[in-house]
Chains A and B, each alone.
Chain A
């Protein structure tokens, strides 16, 4: 989809949604965006969330290493702005207490600060390394940060079976700079409107990674997958993200995501 002026986007989207089921001629781009928007909105309305995350990293020989993190997210309702998030490492023990605060933007680089507990130092870091691996995993920073609707342009390709369900296959193209991908293929089911699978094509447009999302649960209308499995086809390595103990609407606000909060986490 050609880049929409940001401010009018919500209006345009509303009209798209209203016409989505009608027979008015809809371009594949419009249909792709509408499907992605419906899926994105079924994840939203959570206000804030706190969740425990275990990352299981496997190398090509199947050897595992694990990391435990607590992820706190503040939803910013305006779709032209990104969410705020705080990631605190619980393990491995040598990086316990290390924390990453992100103020996500849509197409601009995010604002990010890292807290290093040994020195008690807060360091503003560059966030342009979108395609770099997140803590040695098969997830890039751009895969890990919240999926913001307007970060991509979309195109609907086809409809096909995906396991028990029927999915729309929507291609999306990063609109932000420094992405490691030319395009991503996403499978969005037609029942709960959730993303079930994503194929990532690198800058040379070859299939690099496949992400499978499973164990979806509905928290009062906010849907969350509890297991995300990323397989790297180039290296044979994989990373699973296993989420547990989701808590929503815990009463967090902007004040809980300012830079100085990093020094008060423990």
Chain B
């Protein structure tokens, strides 16, 4: 996104805020600060990688203004990460900076924001609006802010949301000293298929509705793919972003303690058109542990029939099995344990995530990710030596 356009948008947002009488504005500050230590269980495989534990700090203040009647809101959420080992992982991002007007049956939002689509847990297949913040984690749940104009309207037949997305966010890669990186360096300038480059305006539409036990969404996206293909270049690989069309469907059936979930897409534009699906269930066993603790069982099948003409995926034919323990105590203690097993090869990823609140402002999180049985041609094989455990202390205010 060009500096000129960015400043124009920011100026417009500020103007809107200042146009609101000061007496009628509510202002709130909150935020999160985190200290984490990432410990790798094995020695690094790649040259230049640091073998030491990886300490880092993060800071995410949230500034929120709203007009007296809450019709107008203005929010700014910057994010900062300092990393002790990998200078490339030290980064900042504007997660959110938007103005929104909300009416009785809809809203208009202009600025940087995050939008989530989908229902499944192991892979967020149809969720396409925001680029991954791949420096933060490999779980693809951290997202970069996306400049957008979003018009969302509620009707008797559901919600219709229209998006104009000016400016493509590039995927960032860890540096030479970082772990969880590709063996080959990323070189050269990103290539975008559109002659407008990263300035190309992407567009998306989503309809969603609920009726009884069914929640359904249908989405369409046209623009530069969030996933680059990595093309050989002198001294490494260069990311290329193809223009794609993507049609996505997300469906959930909520039947008692069972949640049946489906996400499916068809994507055209990389090379051969392909389809991908995640389908499965989440079954809860309430008050099954201790006093009031719940156990959830999650099973999802993953399928993706893309070939080598598309960006690589680790989820061609896989099964995810997981269990979630929620203790329902005053500290909201929970543990998620899961494994994603490749059904065609022997590769698997085992992960564990645990968290517990301490006092009114603290939270301790433990995350572990272990890669096993990976064949050399598995896209996840590059992480084979990078099993890790992250310990994170966060302060919320």
- Interface residues of chain A, those whose CB is within 8 Å of chain B, are 57, 59, 65-66, 91-96, 109, 111, 119-126, 128-129, 131-133, 135-137, 235, 253, 255-256, 258-260, 263-264, 266
Q: Note all chain A residues with C-beta closer than 8 A to B75.
A: 266
Q: Note all chain B residues with C-beta closer than 8 A to A120.
A: 114-116
Query: Is the Cβ of B397 less than 8 Å from the Cβ of A128?
Result: no
Q: Which interface residue of B100, B256, B330, B394 has the most chain A CB atoms within 10 A?
A: B330
User: Contact partner of A129 among B30, B32, B252, B284, CB < 8 A?
Assistant: B284
Cα–Cα distance between A57 and B357 once the two chains are bound (Å): 15
Which residue of chain A has the shortest Cβ distance to B326 in the bound complex? A132
Digitize B181-210: 1 where CB-to-A-CB distance is under 8 Å, 0 elsewhere: 000000000000000000000000000101
User: Contact partner of B159 among A65, A129, A235, A260, CB < 8 A?
Assistant: A260
Interface hits, B274-326 → A, CB 8 Å: 284, 286-287, 291-292, 294
Query: Is the Cβ of A94 less than 8 Å from the Cβ of B287?
Result: no
Cα–Cα distance between A237 and B50 once the two chains are bound (Å): 50
Query: Is the Cβ of B30 less than 8 Å from the Cβ of A264?
Result: no
Given contacts A132-B287, A253-B104, contact A59 B210 (CB under 8 A): no
Which residue of chain B has the shortest Cβ distance to A63 in the bound complex? B330
Cβ of B177 < 8 Å from any Cβ of A? no
State the majority secondary structure of interface residues on B. Answer: strand
Cα–Cα distance between A256 and B102 once the two chains are bound (Å): 11
Interface hits, B93-119 → A, CB 8 Å: 100, 102, 104-105, 107, 114-116, 118-119
Cα–Cα distance between A95 and B258 once the two chains are bound (Å): 25
Q: Note all chain B residues with C-beta closer than 8 A to A259.
A: 159, 208, 210, 215
User: Contact partner of A59 among B100, B258, B330, B394, CB < 8 A?
Assistant: B330
Q: Note all chain B residues with C-beta closer than 8 A to A91.
A: 360
Query: Is the Cβ of B215 less than 8 Å from the Cβ of A124?
Result: yes
Name the distance in Å between A253's Cβ and chain B's nearest Cβ. Answer: 7
Given contacts A91-B360, A94-B357, A260-B154, contact A136 B329 (CB under 8 A): yes
Query: Is the Cβ of B257 less than 8 Å from the Cβ of A132?
Result: no
Query: Is the Cβ of B115 less than 8 Å from the Cβ of A96?
Result: no
Query: Is the Cβ of B361 less than 8 Å from the Cβ of A264?
Result: no
Nearest 7 pairs between A and B by C-beta?
A: A93-B396, A129-B286, A136-B330, A133-B292, A94-B396, A260-B159, A121-B116
Cα–Cα distance between A124 and B115 once the two chains are bound (Å): 17
Q: Note all chain B residues with C-beta closer than 8 A to A59.
A: 330
User: Contact partner of A93 among B64, B114, B330, B397, CB < 8 A?
Assistant: B397
Cα–Cα distance between A57 and B329 once the two chains are bound (Å): 10
Digitize B359-381: 1 where CB-to-A-CB distance is under 8 Å, 0 elsewhere: 01101000000000000000000
Cα–Cα distance between A96 and B30 once the two chains are bound (Å): 9
Cα–Cα distance between A124 and B292 once the two chains are bound (Å): 21
Interface hits, B346-362 → A, CB 8 Å: 357, 360-361
User: Contact partner of A264 among B102, B114, B394, CB < 8 A?
Assistant: B102
Q: Note all chain A residues with C-beta closer than 8 A to B66.
A: 266
Cα–Cα distance between A123 and B217 once the two chains are bound (Å): 13
Q: Note all chain B residues with C-beta closer than 8 A to A111.
A: 210, 212, 254
Which residue of chain A has the shortest Cβ distance to B395 in the bound complex? A93
Cβ of B45 < 8 Å from any Cβ of A? no
Cα–Cα distance between A81 and B178 once the two chains are bound (Å): 57
Known: A92-B360, A132-B294; 18 extra A-B contacts, CB below 8 A, are A92-B361, A111-B210, A111-B254, A119-B114, A120-B116, A124-B119, A124-B215, A126-B256, A126-B259, A128-B256, A129-B286, A129-B287, A133-B291, A255-B105, A255-B154, A259-B210, A263-B152, A266-B73
For chain B, give the interface size range. 35 or more
Query: Is the Cβ of A126 less than 8 Å from the Cβ of B258?
Result: yes
- Interface residues of chain B, those whose CB is within 8 Å of chain A, are 30, 32, 64, 66, 73, 75, 100, 102, 104-105, 107, 114-116, 118-119, 141, 152, 154, 159, 208, 210, 212, 215, 252, 254, 256-259, 284, 286-287, 291-292, 294, 328-332, 357, 360-361, 363, 394, 396-397
Given contacts A131-B287, A258-B159, A264-B102, contact A136 B332 (CB under 8 A): yes
Cα–Cα distance between A96 and B284 once the two chains are bound (Å): 25
Cα–Cα distance between A93 and B32 once the two chains are bound (Å): 9
Q: Note all chain B residues with C-beta closer than 8 A to A125.
A: 254, 259
Given contacts A259-B159, A259-B210, contact A133 B107 (CB under 8 A): no
Q: Note all chain A residues with C-beta closer than 8 A to B32.
A: 94
Query: Is the Cβ of A124 less than 8 Å from the Cβ of B210?
Result: yes
Query: Is the Cβ of B331 less than 8 Å from the Cβ of A136?
Result: yes
Name the distance in Å between B79's Cβ and chain A's nearest Cβ. Answer: 12
Which residue of chain A has the shortest Cβ distance to B291 in the bound complex? A235
Which residue of chain B has the shortest Cβ distance to A95 in the bound complex? B332
Which residue of chain A has the shortest Cβ distance to B161 in the bound complex? A260
Q: Note all chain B residues with C-beta closer than 8 A to A253.
A: 104
Q: Note all chain A residues with C-beta closer than 8 A to B100.
A: 264
In the complex, 14 of the A-B residue pairs with CB atoms within 8 angstroms, ordered by the A residue number, are A65-B330, A65-B360, A94-B357, A94-B361, A96-B30, A124-B252, A126-B256, A126-B284, A136-B328, A259-B208, A259-B210, A260-B152, A264-B100, A264-B102
Query: Is the Cβ of B357 less than 8 Å from the Cβ of A126?
Result: no
Q: Note all chain A residues with C-beta closer than 8 A to B118.
A: 121
Name the distance in Å between A126's Cβ and chain B's nearest Cβ. Answer: 5
Cα–Cα distance between A255 and B396 once the two chains are bound (Å): 32
Cα–Cα distance between A119 and B141 once the two chains are bound (Å): 7
Q: Which interface residue of A91, A121, A131, A135 has the most chain B CB atoms within 10 A?
A: A121
Query: Is the Cβ of B328 less than 8 Å from the Cβ of A132?
Result: yes
Q: Note all chain A residues with C-beta closer than 8 A to B330.
A: 57, 59, 65, 136-137
Q: Note all chain A residues with C-beta closer than 8 A to B294.
A: 129, 132
Q: Note all chain A residues with C-beta closer than 8 A to B286.
A: 128-129, 131-132
Query: Is the Cβ of B116 less than 8 Å from the Cβ of A124?
Result: no
Query: Is the Cβ of A124 less than 8 Å from the Cβ of B331?
Result: no
Q: Note all chain B residues with C-beta closer than 8 A to A258.
A: 154, 159
Name the distance in Å between B204's Cβ and chain A's nearest Cβ. Answer: 15
Given contacts A128-B286, A136-B332, contact A93 B361 (CB under 8 A): yes
